[in-house]
Chains A and B, each alone.
Chain A
């Protein structure tokens, strides 16, 4: 056998340790056996040494997903979580240098999996699982994202009662429309209580960060719609049609001011504010 190249060795080693099919069009791994490539003369035999890498690969990544979705894992069985997380990692093996993106597709993956297996459209348990995963992922993104902590809030003093024509969402703000009252459930689980699963009802939550602490603020439907509108476009007016009723339109200016205090919105993009603060 001719000496394998570095690329061939790595392709083979990765294949046997991750048990993943190689992407089509990529380098083919040869059908080598462990004894063909690895030196078996040391105290730790090659088979066992390989298993340490192989077992460690999945165990390490499962541990990271478990740390990002602790309530989901705790609320259902750890066996169920590990099983579904393993399927997820097989479909979406990590590619980035950072672990922050590892769980980014997990809620969507759960949605796909549950849609494929659910018998009825009204699958409340499935919706709860997906929403809980969305909430935990949002918490993780908000905790790491660009926040407004170091912004000089005096920048807003000139607002007075006049709303600027454009306002911007804090980059780490996440908006969620949930199909059950999950937030109290999550808090109870975090406090090691044993809450019952929440009943179905529509809830709107802003996930934001104040003083480096993630906050889960309940909001009303029109406040959620308004923030969604601002997420698409920083232009305050015209309001979306859903907010056009005179009663709601009258409440918007006051609530936008409150939103600046809560760290949801800024009067210019965060980058511009950071520069003007220096």
Chain B
């Protein structure tokens, strides 16, 4: 049975819905207008198609890339590197953060190293990485890992050490061992931190894999972008960037889904 809504409530809900529709329509419109103006200016010759490309050309390029099956290879390559980097870094980073939480001495000893590694622009390690791991997928994954892992360690360690004092005291007053404190208090209370860390890591892993591809690759979205730039095929650069946006958004959506799952469980 439908429950009767009060007039005020109905009005409120309606206004709310209208606002939401307005926002969504505006979003779509903004995109359409931007693309339209771009296309128009290109046709009128106001902007140089050679430097800027144009939407219709990008669309054709996109279609060709997918139709020939080339794009799929590139997408899968980059996706593989990014996901591998993301998983390895998140896993190892969390383990390292746990070890640092466990031992205060270790934490004190490693602190300056972590700070330096964090502020170091990781791209500077490019040559070393290539020498060590070769000009291939391994180097790219390593780049993604090194960029992501430092952030993971710092974020997770912060989460672990910020466990509420009162709750730690409670555990102590119950005579809990360090392991029990870790498993029953520190880890469960750090789940929100872990989720925000996952979100940050998605972005970091993409930065890492694309940067890696800029350096060494023969395949992948990053490679396509660099290649397109070198041969002045701006339509190729733009098309690849669009695919990259879609992939990053897709991966973020998966993390958001995981978040929903974890939060519902609590």
**B is bound to A:** no
Residues of B participating in the A interface, judged by any CB pair closer than 8 Å: none
